[in-house]
Amino acid sequence: MQFTRCYMCEAEGTTTEHVPPRALFPEAKDVQGRNYRIDLVTVPSCPLHNTAKSDDDQFLMVSLAGIIGNNSIGYHHRMTKVDRAIRRSSNRLLDKVLVKKSHSLKIDLNNNRFLEVIWGTPDAQRLHRCFNHIVRGLHFHHFAEPLVGEVRPFLGFLFHSDRSARSFSEFIEHRASLDLAEKTRYGKNPDVFFYSVTEPDQFGLYLFHLCFYGGVNVYAAVIPSHSKRPHDIGFELMNRGIKTFLKVEDKSYEIN
């Protein structure tokens, strides 16, 4: 029998893992029988990487479904499956999503249904880990080989109270929109999830775009181990807190 390896490590992939997690896709019973689980992407996974992730799957589901800017499917998912999971956990799930809760407000959605919106500091480190796994899974699926190198997810959906971080976020979105224009969108349930990927640039770097519920955008730069990435002076200045201008087309973004 042919040996199938795990998408994350070199162990044998004896189990099947959904990328992104199946929990993000509404169940038919919650959406009047509509099927949003057509041809979900799966990859082989070793038992270790499969179990290690199931806790993260719930975390990701709660983190993404209620985000402002989502389409109605995202909201609906938040009101049904996600809501049940939160209740079952006596709100512990919600506490895990935000490392610091600042305040919450309730939005009246009519028919006596309310959506609780909670502002706070999301667990960005954990979100990064989740998206790292998703990108590695999609890579394995898309290119039929594991990703050897680094993944740098950029979470475009997070709101930054800091002006400089906001400006950087706008820069990334603008730049990515150019790189991704006309690229094929993959995913049989695009209202829930689709992804696209750019060609490698002259240094071998490329970009994955993940879009959830029509409004949550994640951009992940893939830096293969063999890439000859030059030392990026712009980013170096930025990291040192020096005022830097990043330019895309005619627009200039001021950082720091």
| AA identity, residue 255 | I
Least separation in angstroms between residue 46's CB and Zn ion is 3
Phi, psi of 16 (to 5 degrees): -115, 135
Least separation in angstroms between residue 43's CB and Zn ion is 10
Query: Which residues inside 107-136 make contact with Zn ion, applying CB under 5 A?
Result: none
Tokens for 100, please give them: 């610091």
Closest CA to 211 of 231, 197, 228: 197
Considering the complex, state which of residue 12 and residue 30 has its C-beta at the smaller distance from Zn ion: 12
Least separation in angstroms between residue 145's CB and Zn ion is 15
Least separation in angstroms between residue 42's CB and Zn ion is 15
Phi, psi of 208 (to 5 degrees): -100, 135
Least separation in angstroms between residue 227's CB and Zn ion is 24
Report how far apart the first and last C-alpha atoms of the chain are (Å, whole number). Answer: 56
Query: Which residues inside 39-68 make contact with Zn ion, applying CB under 5 A?
Result: 46, 49
Beta bridge partners of 101: 120
Considering the complex, state which of residue 13 and residue 20 has its C-beta at the smaller distance from Zn ion: 13
Considering the complex, state which of residue 49 and residue 78 has its C-beta at the smaller distance from Zn ion: 49
Closest CA to 128 of 150, 146, 160, 155: 155
Least separation in angstroms between residue 8's CB and Zn ion is 4
Considering the complex, state which of residue 9 and residue 242 has its C-beta at the smaller distance from Zn ion: 9
Q: Which residue stretch of 10-18, 81-89, 111-119, 193-201 sits at the interface with Zn ion (rule: CB under 5 A)? A: 10-18
Binding residues for Zn ion, rule CB under 5 A, total: 6
Q: Which residues contact 156 (CB under 8 A, 6 or more apart)?
A: 169, 172, 173, 217, 218, 219
Q: Which residue stretch of 9-17, 27-35, 166-174, 190-198 sits at the interface with Zn ion (rule: CB under 5 A)? A: 9-17
Q: Where are the beta strands (DSSP E) in the chain?
A: 15-18, 42-45, 98-108, 114-122, 149-155, 193-197, 206-212, 216-224, 244-248, 251-255
SS3 category, 122? strand
Does the protein bind Zn ion through residue 9 (CB under 5 A)?
A: yes
Q: Which residue stretch of 7-15, 84-92, 104-112, 232-240 sits at the interface with Zn ion (rule: CB under 5 A)? A: 7-15
| Residues at the site binding Zn ion, with contacts judged by CB under 5 A | 6, 8-9, 11, 46, 49
